[in-house]
A and B are shown apart, each in its own frame.
Chain A
Amino acid sequence: MRIFRFQQAINFMRFKWPALMLSALLVLGSLGLLAVKGINWGLDFTGGTVIEAGFSQSADLSQIRTVLAESGYPDAVVQYFGSSQDVAIRIAPRDGVEQSRISNEIMAALAKTSDSQIEMRRIEFVGPSVGAELREQGGLAMLVALLGILLYVGMRFEWRLSVGAVLALAHDVIITLGLFSLLQLEFDLTVLAAILALIGYSINDTIVVFDRIRESFRKLRDSTPEETVNDAVTSTLNRTVVTSLTTIIVLIVLFTMGGALIHNFATALLFGIAIGTYSSIFVASGIAVQLGLNREDMLPPPPPEKEGEGTEPLL
């Protein structure tokens, strides 16, 4: 079985401009959203307290809100979490002395709300200083990851490809962040992990295409850079689609069966990988071609590998 059977290369680069325009629009739109609506930072980054409580019967949210307001927490955000017997209570950080005591008080207050059994399922408290640190570290990690990839790809490939790859990555990340801003999904540590995993996946995808571009340049001596890129993207298209498909399938499984705690993690990856697949086909090589990628600039061919040479160190 095969998804695509091509007799000749598809002219992907014909869509270069429409694709780049679309991407530019999406990126600008996302940046606009981020500027206007911002990101719904989760507890990990803002600090504060989240308490998840399990009720033996359906919980009455308005009653819980009233009781919490009476106990001195009028600002508590009370929502169902996963099911109607599961309630998440969020409390913003406050300048009290002993913030870590808040969860004790909330649990005691909840006990008063109903006759049904209440079970503590999860308490997360993050002090404001820790939140600020995590935010800083997270941003730093993202930059270091992008920089490391820029260096590695720059070392292994031509600089135009390297710039194309990193711009495509930034494109994937920004648009995924844009989605989180648009839907106001909570951005917590697991989502940060997902974004970094996305960076890893998306660069993986792009490199496979680039590897083939390099090879095609050596093989097709008389074609234009655009034709060469078209040939490379066409011959890797099956692989790109199949791998994305299997990954997206497992992510759908994760999204539907992984539980509420990793919902946003799965969302970020699912959306990001779809965008990443598109960008490694159209955006990364499009940018490289636009930057003036041509045969003469490609690195000299690496020495031919002997059979099994590369496999030995793995054992």
Chain B
Amino acid sequence: MLNQNPLWRYLLVVGVLLLALVYAMPNLYPEDPALNINATRGGAVSENTRQQLEQAFVSAGITPKAVTLEAGQVLARFASAEDQLRARQVATELLGNVNYVTALNLVPTTPDWLAAIGASPMKLGLDLRGGVHFLMAVDMKAALDKNINDLTQAFRADLREARVRYRSVTADTERGQVQILLRSAEDVAAARAALARLDREYVFTDGAAEFSLNVSLSENRIREIREYALNQNITIIRNRVNEIGVAEPLVQRQGADRIIVQLPGVQDPAQAKEILGATATLEFRLVDDQGDLAAALNGRLPPGSSLYYDRNGQPYLLENRIMLTGEHITNASSSYDEYGQPQVNISLDAQGGNQLSQATRDSIGRRMATVFIEYKPGEELQADGTPVLIKQEEVINAATIQARLGRSFRITGIGNPAEAQNLALLLRAGALIAPTQIIEERTIGPSLGQENIDLGMTAIMWGMVVVLVFMVIYYKVFGLIANVALVANLVLIVGIMSMIPGATLTLPGMAGIVLTVGMAVDANVLIFERIREELAEGRSVQQAIHQGYDRAFATIADSNITTLLVALILFGIGTGPVKGFAITLAIGILTSIFTAVVGTRLLVNLFWGGRRVQSLPM
């Protein structure tokens, strides 16, 4: 019999719809205003901190919905945004803002049973949540220039060591090479041989001048330098972003030399810019073991020394003379020593190696402290509205000098591998080799974000209503069926958007949904018009339904593939919001084919299929 479907097909479609509905449900639950409290610099918050916080909230007259410790941070949920803001003050007073960061957040209230199956609400783009989007470019020229300058210094030492007499060694950053002038052809050959032995990645070319040699770096090495500069910047930015107090920051590489930074919910982009742009430096200083620490704590500093503290508040008396600054560090990494203990390996450039060698010659057996200096924005504001930066100095390590140090040395005796990693990271952060620059900023204030959501929702709602009414007037009962498909389509879009981890809803994305609502009826219009035609040509009702769906399908597939093609291209080129539009458009096309072709056919067959009907209510 024509136009009858096996039961499993009904079950399948109903199943798909139910699945989408379940995954779309978390979007119905409102979000709780919440606080995220994190420890900075690799520290951790404990159960103890959680209890302290909870007590502090209660004694301040705020009743939190829940205060939990998850994934190393305290999450406190509140009933209202007012409570949230007051609680933030309480938390900051209790913990201070040096070692802890308190971030405002909105957390979903997805019920446990939904969360258990991995259902979560759609992720909202920054244009709907409010927040800051930065695109930062790493100045690769600076990284390569620094490298050439380092090489120039190193070559002088290397040539001296190899007993090759040179007239001059100069950096030519313009062409990315080091120019060596020598006295004779033999010297040129000798210099070349001596340097080639040191590193295979040097590329030698004859200079324009007599007895000269140009040394540049291989493509490979240049790529490594660029990668290193980019990765170093990403690490540093990640580290700093944590200081800003943002609940779910995103720091991501884009292309060869760009970094995307997204900070949802940041209210003050000026502050965020200051923090991201702040420079951190490192200083190595000798610990003053002769000086009286107790007296210094009471305010009587020995001449030539000053007081410093580490993260735990432990005081150190350090000499004012700086042995070495962080800009000479070329690399720092953590590893294990021969006894399996964690250690940090540090490499310096040639000049740094000389300086440190001089400074440690007479200090074997003494302790050397590493001081990390960072600028954090404070409460005060400058004339142009940006916060005044406060210098923060912190001792991150103090180790005994075992031998005279040179271009590479290591710090051992570190508590655990995590601490070694963190120290290596801070050492690298203090030795930033390539500066970054913000080349794109998109900031949406929190109220505009909410406004955009409201606008989008109204547009979707009214778009739906108008189309639903139109379809019923135009196609009567069949219009109702198309409307069921349209609503199912919306549920499917929301469900799929919530399921796909990378899909983000943006304002143009919402416009895409509105557009899809308008276009989704197209498939049904095609089918219904076709059925009408078939009926007009005198076919039986069953034949007309059958032919109508069959013939329309080829057309629907053909015409939608091209739109899908366009959506893919849009996804490829678009940034943030436009990508969101492409995603909803693509999903909308696929779901509308499903609901219009498969879904409505089942309904039509259910009501009229295989029965003796003389006419169709359309």
Q: Which residues of A contact B (CB under 8 A)?
A: 1-2, 52, 54, 98-101, 103-105, 107-108, 111, 119-127, 129-130, 134, 137-138, 140-141, 144-145, 148-149, 152-153, 156, 189-190, 192-193, 196-197, 199-201, 203-205, 207-208, 211-212, 215, 235-236, 238-239, 242-243, 245-251, 253-254, 257-259, 261-262, 265-266, 269, 302, 305, 307, 310-311, 314-315
Report yes or no: B462 in contact with A253, Cβ–Cβ below 8 A. yes
A144-B569, A250-B518, A310-B557 are known contacts. Are A121 and B269 too (CB-CB below 8 A)? no
Report yes or no: B455 in contact with A257, Cβ–Cβ below 8 A. yes
Report yes or no: A190 in contact with B508, Cβ–Cβ below 8 A. yes
Report yes or no: A249 in contact with B533, Cβ–Cβ below 8 A. no
Report yes or no: B438 in contact with A315, Cβ–Cβ below 8 A. no
Q: Which residues of A contact B565 (CB under 8 A)?
A: 145, 148-149, 152, 200
CA distance A211 to B562 in the complex (A): 14
Report yes or no: B511 in contact with A262, Cβ–Cβ below 8 A. yes
Identify 8 residue pairs between A and B in the complex whose beta-carbon atoms are under 8 Å apart, listed by A's number: A123-B441, A127-B137, A130-B439, A196-B570, A200-B566, A243-B521, A243-B525, A253-B463
Residue of A nearest to B516 (CB): A250
Report yes or no: B474 in contact with A199, Cβ–Cβ below 8 A. no
Q: Residue-by-residue, is B455-468 near A (CB-CB < 8 Å gives 1, otherwise 0)?
A: 11011001100110
Report yes or no: A193 in contact with B578, Cβ–Cβ below 8 A. yes
Cβ-based interface call for B171 (8 A): no
Starting from the known contacts A242-B529, A262-B508, 15 additional A-B residue pairs (CB-CB under 8 Å) come to: A104-B385, A108-B384, A121-B448, A145-B569, A153-B562, A193-B581, A196-B570, A197-B585, A207-B559, A211-B554, A247-B515, A254-B463, A257-B455, A258-B514, A261-B127
Report yes or no: B577 in contact with A190, Cβ–Cβ below 8 A. yes
A1-B474, A54-B447, A100-B441 are known contacts. Are A189 and B553 too (CB-CB below 8 A)? no
Report yes or no: A305 in contact with B554, Cβ–Cβ below 8 A. yes
CA distance A26 to B213 in the complex (A): 65
Partner of A105 from the list B384, B517, B572, B577 (CB cut-off 8 Å) is B384
CA distance A129 to B598 in the complex (A): 48
CA distance A138 to B563 in the complex (A): 17
CA distance A315 to B11 in the complex (A): 12
Q: Which residues of A contact B383 (CB under 8 A)?
A: 108
CA distance A156 to B475 in the complex (A): 31
Report yes or no: A250 in contact with B515, Cβ–Cβ below 8 A. yes
Q: Residue-by-residue, is B418-447 near A (CB-CB < 8 Å gives 1, otherwise 0)?
A: 000000000000000000011111111101
Residue of A nearest to B271 (CB): A104
Q: Which residues of B contact A148 (CB under 8 A)?
A: 565, 569
Partner of B269 from the list A1, A123, A261, A262 (CB cut-off 8 Å) is A123
CA distance A284 to B384 in the complex (A): 58
Report yes or no: B519 in contact with A243, Cβ–Cβ below 8 A. yes
Residue of B nearest to A304 (CB): B550
Cβ-based interface call for B610 (8 A): no
Q: Which residues of B contact A (CB under 8 A)?
A: 12-13, 16, 127, 135, 137, 269-270, 273, 383-386, 437-445, 447-448, 451-452, 455-456, 458-459, 462-463, 466-467, 470-471, 473-476, 507-508, 511-512, 514-515, 517-519, 521-522, 525-526, 529, 532-533, 546, 550-551, 553-555, 557-563, 565-567, 569-570, 572-575, 577-578, 581-582, 585, 593-594, 597-598, 601
Report yes or no: A314 in contact with B507, Cβ–Cβ below 8 A. no
CA distance A99 to B559 in the complex (A): 46
Partner of A315 from the list B12, B441, B560, B562 (CB cut-off 8 Å) is B12
Report yes or no: A189 in contact with B575, Cβ–Cβ below 8 A. yes
Report yes or no: A189 in contact with B577, Cβ–Cβ below 8 A. yes
Q: Which residues of A contact B511 (CB under 8 A)?
A: 190, 254, 258, 262, 265-266
Q: Which residues of B contact A129 (CB under 8 A)?
A: 137, 439
Q: Which residues of A contact B475 (CB under 8 A)?
A: 1
CA distance A262 to B16 in the complex (A): 33
CA distance A249 to B514 in the complex (A): 10
Q: Which residues of A contact B438 (CB under 8 A)?
A: 99-100, 125, 127
CA distance A314 to B563 in the complex (A): 17
CA distance A107 to B438 in the complex (A): 18
Q: Which residues of B contact A149 (CB under 8 A)?
A: 562, 565-566
A138-B573, A196-B566, A200-B562 are known contacts. Are A249 and B553 too (CB-CB below 8 A)? no
A123-B441, A189-B574, A314-B597 are known contacts. Are A261 and B507 too (CB-CB below 8 A)? yes
Q: Which residues of B contact A123 (CB under 8 A)?
A: 269, 441-443
A1-B473, A104-B386, A235-B533 are known contacts. Are A124 and B443 too (CB-CB below 8 A)? yes
Q: Which residues of B contact A199 (CB under 8 A)?
A: 566
A122-B448, A311-B597 are known contacts. Are A242 and B553 too (CB-CB below 8 A)? no
Partner of B270 from the list A2, A107, A245 (CB cut-off 8 Å) is A107
Partner of A124 from the list B441, B555, B570 (CB cut-off 8 Å) is B441
A130-B440, A145-B565, A190-B578 are known contacts. Are A246 and B550 too (CB-CB below 8 A)? no
A200-B567, A245-B470, A250-B467 are known contacts. Are A125 and B441 too (CB-CB below 8 A)? yes
A111-B385, A120-B269, A314-B597 are known contacts. Are A253 and B574 too (CB-CB below 8 A)? no
Q: Which residues of A contact B384 (CB under 8 A)?
A: 101, 104-105, 108
CA distance A137 to B575 in the complex (A): 11
CA distance A85 to B425 in the complex (A): 47
CA distance A189 to B576 in the complex (A): 10
Report yes or no: B562 in contact with A204, Cβ–Cβ below 8 A. yes
